[in-house]
Amino acid sequence: MEQLINPNVKNIQISGIRKFFNMVEGVQNVISLTIGQPDFPTPSHIKDVAKQAIDQNFTSYTANAGYLELRKAASNYVKRKYRIVYHPESEIIVTVGATQGIDIALRTILTPGTEVLLPGPIYPGYEPLIKLAGAKPVYLDTRNTGFKVTAEMIEKAINNHTRCLILPYPSNPTGVSLTREELKEIAEVVKNKPIFVLADEIYSELVYEKEHVSIAEFIPEQTIVINGLSKSHSMTGWRIGFVFAPAYLTKEMIKVHQYNVSCASSISQKAAIAALTTGFYDGRLMREEYVKRRDYVYEQLIKSGYDTVLPDGAFYFFVKIPTDFQLNSFDYCLKMVKENGVAVVPGSAFSEYGEGYFRLSYACSMEKLQEGLNRLLDK
């Protein structure tokens, strides 16, 4: 019977991150600089609302697209931040984390044989979903452009099969972001072509000195914006994401969503309303702390002769493995765990364009970071 299983599912590889964790499981006294989520608790005013929601019996299905009150709050958030209007009734879907938003978007726009452009190195969550839809991931090498995809690269790569461009900025694993000018140039290349842009903006609230710009500002008709509360309000386990897109797209996406999950959790949605209406400043403390840690890590890495890009946002550094190690990224990270007692993620987990690098997360206490860096840099 096993041969009857959908090959698109069978061929999904377990993620490089998971593979690495399986290898190092059980090694004692390791400082982990691998974390992919904020190390702060969800703000208590949000937790209180969730507790009240349970007591007040907000425990039923909600509208498939989510509570209208939440969609209104999400619409106001986007209007305030980007001056873009998405109608709560027809252009917003509340999803089960950003992950499910990415899934329903890709399943709605991709057909077998179509191609998706992705800047590499990149978060490993897209490729399996692209392949499940029978489409083909096509990576654009950003190693020589400071990990930024450029309009020129995109223009060269577009062919008759190209259906989607993924723009995941600020980036996991590199922390870099695109400027207004860079996004405008990209928008000009894809404008009026039969190509959608999937803008994964899950780290949009974790941008430091710079302003976060959404490509939806330039080509709203072609853009599907993915966002959520996982990183902005330290709510990864609550599973609340959003899709913002024109109604001609959301009216199709909602069908996939409805038959897939019905709706996001009612209790989490109530908490999300609090996050977006009274939690404007929740991220400020987190950002201040991340900037301190980022600057500390950067200083240490540069002082020790490591090659890296100063991140604009998120909480990751993507660092080149010094050539004297003569190890691929997986073996280098294994060595760090076993011999130095510190864990970082092999760059190869972020596509072949991540080979030769490792990802270091500073979503952990300053104390842990200091000790972890001492071990990593062998001080």
**95 by DSSP, 3-state: which?**
strand
Which residues make Cβ contacts (< 8 Å) with residue 136, sequence separation at least 6? 113, 114, 115, 116, 130, 161
Do the Cβ atoms of 71 and 272 come closer than 8 Å? no
Task: Choose between 230 and 266: whose C-beta lies nearer to ligand PLP.
Answer: 230
HSE value, Cβ hemisphere, 13 Å, CA-based, for 255: 8
**Structure token pair of residue 342:** 């510190």
For the bound state, the minimum distance from the C-beta of residue 374 to ligand PLP, rounded and expressed in Å, comes to 27
For the bound state, the minimum distance from the C-beta of residue 219 to ligand PLP, rounded and expressed in Å, comes to 21
For the bound state, the minimum distance from the C-beta of residue 121 to ligand PLP, rounded and expressed in Å, comes to 12
Which residues make Cβ contacts (< 8 Å) with residue 233, sequence separation at least 6? 42, 43, 46, 275, 279, 282, 283
Task: Choose between 164 and 375: whose C-beta lies nearer to ligand PLP.
Answer: 164
CB count within 10 Å of CB 186 equals 25
For the bound state, the minimum distance from the C-beta of residue 178 to ligand PLP, rounded and expressed in Å, comes to 14
The CA angle 347-138-107, to the nearest 5 degrees, is 105
Instruction: Return the sign of the alpha-carbon dihedral for residues 195, 244, 147, 16.
Output: negative
Nearest residue to ligand PLP by CB is 97
Rounded distance between C-alpha atoms, residue 136 and residue 116, angstroms: 6
For the bound state, the minimum distance from the C-beta of residue 215 to ligand PLP, rounded and expressed in Å, comes to 15
Strands (E), 184-282: 196-200, 223-228, 241-244
For the bound state, the minimum distance from the C-beta of residue 57 to ligand PLP, rounded and expressed in Å, comes to 27
Task: Choose between 36 and 279: whose C-beta lies nearer to ligand PLP.
Answer: 36
For the bound state, the minimum distance from the C-beta of residue 82 to ligand PLP, rounded and expressed in Å, comes to 18
Task: Choose between 201 and 289: whose C-beta lies nearer to ligand PLP.
Answer: 201
Which residues make Cβ contacts (< 8 Å) with residue 334, sequence separation at least 6? 20, 23, 24
**24 by DSSP, 3-state: which?**
helix
Task: Choose between 204 and 375: whose C-beta lies nearer to ligand PLP.
Answer: 204
Q: Which residue has the tokens 């011999």?
A: 339
- What is the secondary structure of 70-97 as a DSSP string? HHHHHHHHHHHHH-----TTTSEEEESH
For the bound state, the minimum distance from the C-beta of residue 265 to ligand PLP, rounded and expressed in Å, comes to 13
Buried b (16+ CB within 10 A) or exposed e, 82-98: beeebebebbbbbbbbb
For the bound state, the minimum distance from the C-beta of residue 168 to ligand PLP, rounded and expressed in Å, comes to 5
Task: Choose between 350 and 375: whose C-beta lies nearer to ligand PLP.
Answer: 350
Would you tell me which residues interact with ligand PLP (CB under 6 A)? 36, 97-99, 123, 125, 168, 172, 200, 202, 228, 230, 236, 241
Task: Choose between 202 and 274: whose C-beta lies nearer to ligand PLP.
Answer: 202
Task: Choose between 344 and 375: whose C-beta lies nearer to ligand PLP.
Answer: 344
Rounded distance between C-alpha atoms, residue 352 and residue 333, angstroms: 16
Task: Choose between 16 and 36: whose C-beta lies nearer to ligand PLP.
Answer: 36
